Amino acid sequence: MNMEAFVLGCGGVMPLPGRHLTSILLRREGELLLFDCGEGTQVSLRELNLRWKKISAIFVSHTHADHVTGLPGMLMLSAQVDRSEPLYIIGPPRIKEFVDWARDVLEMYINYEIVVLEIENPRVGGVVYTGEGFTVRSVPLNHTRTCVGYILEEDQRPGVFHPERALELGVPRGPLWARLQRGERVTLENDAVVLPEQVLGPPRPGRKFSFITDSLFRSDLPGEVAGSDLLICEGMFHSEFRETAHEKKHMTAADAGELAAAAGGVQRMGLIHYSPRYADGQLKLLVKEARRVFPNSFLTRDRQAIQLPYRDE
């Protein structure tokens, strides 16, 4: 099952030419999930030719303008096509107020169901969305406004199927093999019962995607993002401006690197939500700083596609 992340915007505070505001689209097979919806999200969707009408849910970290200004346009865009499934919008308190205000003031024509779910206790976190074979949970962050991060975790996969074991147990090739691979027991013509664990290896982990912005470093965050196949984390400032960053409750690139290193098991960490004070050529300062602590750090760029393969592939 394919999974890939698309960077629709990597900037913070204000959009720049070629750098829209923060937004990540995660595509898991045919399902699309959007994390934050900054200004310019629609532009990147069109440029990447993504099927935006397939977006099932939008996860909002907080209601600062540079994370939600693209949302009204996305709601109106979705009304331009036939849509039978509801669109879920999930976020901390006040996200419903923002959506209702936008719909009212802009007099939006909406021809589909919008379900806004506010996270009841954002300071604790927990599962906020369940899809087929995965869950998304919120984690509390420390920002100037109530803010949450999101962790998507896939269910465990069945172990590797061993055909030689199936043949030794008398299971003929065909549909019975598929049933065993799905974790079902099968009964043979001689009434013998073959269990999945007799022909499968140990269960294999699914993939994990973590989205963390905007926040100071928290002692509980490493445990939350541990084992991420892809961690997207803000690295808004170079440590030269550490005092400014922490005053505004943001992480520096060094903080992001320390988070990924302390977590353990993180495969890759992509920096995002850059301060507009850094021109494109200066962003290398940020990733250089992060790599001193966590070598598998990289800069996200608008319209970048990032594959999330299974670790055993």
Tell me, what CATH number does 132's domain have? 3.60.15.10
Residues of the chain with pLDDT under 70: 313
Pair (105, 241) in one structural domain: yes
Q: Is residue 107 part of a domain?
A: yes
Look at the chain and count its residues: 313
Distances (CA, A) of 200 to 51, 179, 182, 196, 205: 36, 12, 10, 6, 14
Pair (107, 246) in one structural domain: yes
Helices 253-263 & 283-293 angle (0-180, nearest 10) = 30
pLDDT in tens, 283-299: 999 999 999 999 999 99
pLDDT at 183: 85
Distances (CA, A) of 251 to 141, 214, 236, 246: 11, 7, 6, 7
Pair (167, 281) in one structural domain: no
Pair (171, 216) in one structural domain: no
Backbone phi, then psi, for 78, in 5-degree steps? Answer: -65, -20
Q: Do residues 123 and 141 touch, judged by C-beta distance below 8 A?
A: no
Residue from 66, 214, 229, 255 carrying the catalytic annotation? 66
Pair (52, 186) in one structural domain: no
Q: Is residue 302 part of a domain?
A: yes
Q: Is residue 94 part of a domain?
A: yes
pLDDT in tens, 196-214: 999 999 989 999 999 999 9
Pair (134, 60) in one structural domain: yes
Q: Is residue 312 part of a domain?
A: no
**Residues 173, 176: Cα–Cα separation, whole Å:** 7
List strand residue ranges (DSSP E) for 2-60, in order: 3-9, 23-28, 31-35, 55-59
Pair (186, 50) in one structural domain: no
Tokens of 206: 């699914």
Residue corresponding to tokens 């996860």: 59
Q: Tell me how many domains the chain contains.
A: 2
pLDDT at 83: 82
Pair (57, 192) in one structural domain: no
Pair (110, 247) in one structural domain: yes
Tokens of 62: 């907080």
Q: Is residue 134 part of a domain?
A: yes
Pair (146, 168) in one structural domain: no
Domain range for 13: 3-156+207-307
Q: Is residue 313 part of a domain?
A: no
Distances (CA, A) of 42 to 143, 220, 227, 282, 311: 26, 34, 31, 26, 32
Pair (222, 281) in one structural domain: yes
Among residues 172, 198, 224, the one where a domain terminates is 198
pLDDT at 313: 62
Active site residue 66: yes
Pair (219, 284) in one structural domain: yes
